[in-house]
Structure 1
Amino acid sequence: MSLTAKLSANARTFTAKAEETSPDTGRLQAALDACAGTGRAVLLVAGRHADFLSGPLTVHADETLVIGEGVTLYASRRASAYQNPSTSVSCGSLSAHEGGCKAFITVSGAHAGVMGERGSAGQGSIDGRGDLAMLGTPTSWWKLASQAQTAGDDQNAPRLIEADKADDFTAYDVNLLNAAMFHLYYQSGTGLTVWGVDIKTPATARNTDGIDIDSATDATVYDSYIEDGDDGIAIKTNDSATANVTVADSHFYGTHGISIGSETTYGVSNVLVANDTVDGQDSYGNVSGSDNGLRIKSDSAAGGPVRDVEYLDDCLQHMKAPLVFDTRYASASGSHIPDFTSITLEGVVAQNSLSGAKSDLTGYSSSDPLGLYLSYVKLDAASSTSEYADVTQYDSNLSASGSGVGINNLTSGAGSYPSCSFPSYPTL
C-alpha cells in the first residue's frame, strides 16, 4: 500500500496546527493495520511533497514499513503523544524512574521490518527531532537528558524504534536521525539484521545509543554508519543471555564505542567485531564525552560471564581510551561478578589518539581475572591501567602491569595489522 506525502517541512518543522495534531498518524496506522500479517509493505512515497508527520506507530508481524527515496518521516514533538498508559510517570519529565514513554515506532511481532529506498534523491529517513523543543516547552528531548544528568534522575523520552520479542526483524537502507533517546532497541528476540542503516545524531546528545541488542541471539549489524551521543553498539542482557552477534564493516563517529554491558548478568557469548572503524570525533567536530573504542563494561551489581569475543581487523582513532575491559565500571555492588574470558584482539590499530590516552584492563579479582589474547595489536598510546589480568600476546605493544597481571609472550601468532583508513560520514 502506497501513501503519498502531503506535507513539506520548513527547517524540520511544520505549522502550529500540524505540530499539534500530527496529521499523518491516522492514515499511517490504518495502512499498517491493514497490511498486518500479509508479508507485504506500507510504502511512503514523495509526490509534490516529501514529508510525513506522525505520532507513535506500531509495525505488526509479517509486514514492513518502507520510507521511500527522498522521503522523511518526522516524529511528533508533543510529549503527551508518547505517554505510556501503564505508568503514572509522565513522558517528557524527569523522574526517579524511566518508562513514561512509548517508542515512536514499536515493532510488535515476528518477520517485520523498517526499511528505506536508496536512490539519487537520498535514502529514506526517520527523524526523531530530539534537538527541537517539545511542544509547549522551551526544552528539547536532549536538554531534558542533560537536566536528568545534573539532577541525578532519569529522563522520560521515547526511543525511535523498539522491537520487543520480534524474531527476524530487519532494518535496511534507512537513515535514523536525531533520536530523542535510543535509535534502535532490539530485545528478547532471535534474528536481527541491520544493514545499510545510517544513524546521525551528534556526540553531544546524551543517551542516544545507536543500536542496543538486549537479551537476543543471532544479530548482525553490517555496512552501517553510526554517529550518536552514547554507545554506538550496546550488547546487554537485562532479561536473558545474548549470543551470536556480529558487528562488521561498519563505521562509528563520536560514540562511546562498540560496547558490551554494563548489564551482563545472564551472559554474553560468541561476539565478532570485524573490519570496523571507530572515530572518537563526530562529523560536527565534537569529541565523544566518553571516548572509548572497543569496550566491555560491567560491575558486581549487573555482571556475569562474557566470553568468546573476537575483535578482528579493527581501526581506532581520536581515542581517549582505545581499549576498555572494565569489571568495575560503576560503584554499585552486589553478587553478580563480572567474568570476562576468552577475549581476543587479532589485528587492532589505534592512531591519532588524544593526549593522555590510556587503555583499561581491569579484572575483578585474582579468582576472576580478565582473560585476554592479543595478536598484531598496535596502539599509538600503549599505556594502560591494569589489574587482575591474564594476558597472552604476540606482536602487541599494549603495556600491561599491575597487581595480579600476568603476561605470556608467544613466539608466533595469527593475523596481521589492518590497513586503516577512516571514511568521512557520508552525506545523507
Structure 2
Amino acid sequence: MHCFTSIQIHRHILNWQSLLGLTALASLVPVAQAQDTRNVREPVMPATCTVLLAEPSTPSRNDAPRIQAAMDKCTAGQAVHLAPGSGNTSFTSGPLKLRSGVTLVVDAGTILYTSTNPLLFDRGAKTCGTNDATGKGCQPFITVEGVNGTGIMGEGVIDGQGGQLIDGKNETWWQIARRAQKEKQRQNVPRLIQLDKVQDFTMHRITLRNSPNFHVAMNRVDGFTAWGIRIDTPHDARNTDGIDPGASRNVTIAYSHIRTGDDNVAIKAGSSGPSENISILHNHFYSGHGMSIGSETNGGVRNVLVEDLVMDGTTSGLRIKSNDRRGGIVSGVVYRDVCLRDIRWPLYINTQYEPGPAGDLIPSYTDIRMERVHSLTPGQVILQGYDEQRPLHLALKDVVVDGNPVVKLEFAKLTGQLNAPDAQAVNCTERFVPFRQS
C-alpha cells in the first residue's frame, strides 16, 4: 500500500541528526541482511483524502465522530490529515478504528489527545478507570483489527494523557496503575494503539507520548514497520511498554528513539503463536527496561536481529526473560553492534523471571549470539539457562563490559568469552546522543 526507499544506511556513515531528517544517504552502503523477510524501505506519505482542521477546545470535547467519519469515507490508498486551523492545534478524541488502506496522519504542529473520559473507553461494565481482578475494562485509543495496508504517520504527536486526572476522579491513569500494583490487582486503563490480525501496518515519524498503558501492542500481525518514530513517556509510568510484537512476524523497528516506563521493545510469543523474522535496526533507547524478549515465550521466538542499538540509562540492556509457567524456545537471535551505558543489568538472560509455582512450560534459549557489544559501565551480567539438560547456548565475540561487572553464570554453555583478552571493544564515543523532544 505504501511506497518506500531502501533501508540500506550503514551506521558508520551516519550521524543521528541526519537520521532524524531521514535519509538522504539511502541505498549507498548495504547493511547485513535483516531478519525481516520483507524488503523494508522508508515509508512515503500516501495521497491526501481529506484534511480536518483543529477547532477551539471545549469541555467534554470528543473529536472522534468527525475523525472516524472522515476515515470511513476515505478511499483505500489515501490518508486523513489532522492539521492546525485558525490558531488551534489540538484534537481530543475517544476511541478510533482504522480501516483497510486508510492512513491517519497527524501533521506537524498538531497534537491528537486521548480523552480523559473513561466512559468513552468502557467496554460496558463501567470498570474503565478502576482496578479489579482482570484489567480488561477499557478499549484501546486506536484499534487496528482485521485490516491491511494502513498506518499512522506525520510529524505531529499522539498524547495519551496518562498523567492527567481522569474525569470524575482524583487519580491519573498512571496512579491507578501504580495503586493496582500495590493492591495486587489489575488496572483498567486504555492502551494507546492495539493491532490484532493485521497485515502491512506502517508508522512513520509520529511521536507517541504519555500512554496510559502499552504504546503499541501487536497480536498476530504480519508486516509491521516503525521508522523514525519517537516514544516519550516518564520512566516511572507503569506498564507503558514502547512497542510489543506478540505472535507476529516480519517486523522492522528502525531509526527510532524510545524512552518509557517499561520495556522499550518487548518481543512476546504466547498462546496465539510464534514471533519470528524481526529486525530492530539503528535505534536509540533511553529510560525503560531495555531490549526484551519475553516474558511470554511459550509460542516460540525465532529469527531476531538487533543491530546498531544504543541504550543509555535503561534498567536492563539486552534481556531475555521467562519462566516455567510461560516459557518456550527462543532461538536464532543475533545482537550486533550494541552500545550500552548506565545500565544496571547490561546483559540479562534469565529463565527464572518472576518466580512462582512450578510449571511445565520450560524456557529454552539456543543459538543466541552477541557480536561487538560494549557496555561502558559495569552493572551486573546474568546469563542463566534452566538446568543441565536445558542450558543457555550463547556465542560471544567482542563482547566487553567495562569496569568490574558482577557476573552470574548458571547452566550456560558459552562459545567465546566475556571480556576476552583479545576482544575488540566497539567504539561508542560518538553514538550516545540526547533524546530529542517533540
TM-score by length of 2: 0.85
In the alignment, is the contact (CA less than 8 A) between 1:91 and 1:101 conserved in 2?
A: yes
The CA deviation string for residues 134-163 of structure 1, in whole angstroms up to 9 with x for no partner, is 011110011011101101111111011111
Matched, 1:383 2:393: no
Between the aligned partners of 1:89 and 1:276, the Cα distance in structure 2 is: 42
Give yes or no for contact 2:334–2:368 (8 Å, CA) kept in 1.
yes
Which digits, 9 at most, give the CA deviation of each residue in 1:304-340, with x for residues without a partner? 0000101100011111111110011021331110000
Q: Distance in 2 between matches of 1:427 and 1:82?
A: 29
RMSD (Å), alpha carbons: 1.6
Structure 2 residue 167 is the aligned partner of structure 1 residue 135: yes
Matched with 2:133 is 96
Deviation at 1:300, TM superposition (A): 0.4
Residue 46 of structure 1 aligns with an amino acid whose one-letter code is P
Match of 1:329 among 346, 353, 372: 353
Do residues 112 (structure 1) and 150 (structure 2) align? Answer: yes
Pick one of 25, 45, 54 that aligns with 2:83: 45
Q: How many residues get paired?
A: 383
Matched with 1:401 is none
Structure 1 residue 75 corresponds to structure 2 residue 84: no
2:426 counterpart residue number: 417
Give the distance between the partners of 1:350 and 1:419, measured in 2 at CA.
9
Report what 1:200 is aligned to: 232
- Give 5+ residue unaligned stretches, structure 2: 1-49
Q: Determine if contact 1:313/1:418 at 8 Å carries over to the other structure.
A: no
Q: Deviations over 1:143-198 (max 9, x none)?
A: 01110110111111101111111111001110001001011112101000000110
Once residues 428 and 163 of structure 2 are traced to their aligned partners in structure 1, the CA distance between those partners, rounded to angstroms, is 37
Q: Corresponding residue for 2:373?
A: 348
- Mapped partners of 1:81, 1:128: distance in 2: 14
Question: Counterpart of 1:328 in structure 2: which amino acid?
Answer: Q
Cα deviation per residue 1:81-124 (whole Å; 9 max; x = unaligned)?
A: 11124xx47111111112111110111211110111xxxxxx21
Give the Cα separation in 2 of the matches to 1:344 and 1:244: 16
Counterpart residue number, 2:338: 314
Q: How far is the alpha carbon of 1:38 from its aligned partner?
A: 1.6
Q: Within 5 A, what are the aligned runs for 1:145-224?
A: 145-224=177-256
1:301 maps to 2:345: no
Distance 1:322 1:270, change over 3 A: same
Instruction: State how far apart, in whole Å, the 2-side matches of 1:196 and 1:320 are.
Output: 27
- Residue 262 of structure 1: how far off its partner (Å): 0.3
Contact 2:266 2:294 in 1 (8 A): yes
CA spacing shift, 1:416–1:384, aligned 2, 3 Å: closer
Give distance in 2, aligned partners of 1:352 and 1:425: 20
Q: How does 1:14-29 map to 2 (within 5 A)?
A: 15=58, 17=59, 20-22=60-62, 24-29=63-68
CA distance in 1, matches of 2:381, 2:134: 33
The answer for unaligned runs of 5 or more in structure 1 is: 8-13, 117-122, 281-287, 399-410
> Does the CA contact (< 8 Å) of 1:231 and 1:259 recur in 2?
yes
SS at match of 1:148: helix
Change (3 A) 1:366 1:279: same
Q: Secondary structure at the match of 2:330?
A: strand
TM-score, normalisation: structure 1 = 0.87
Per-residue Cα deviation, 1:17-48 (whole angstroms, up to 9, x for no partner): 2xx242x111101001112x622111111122
Runs of 4+ residues over 4 Å off in structure 1: none
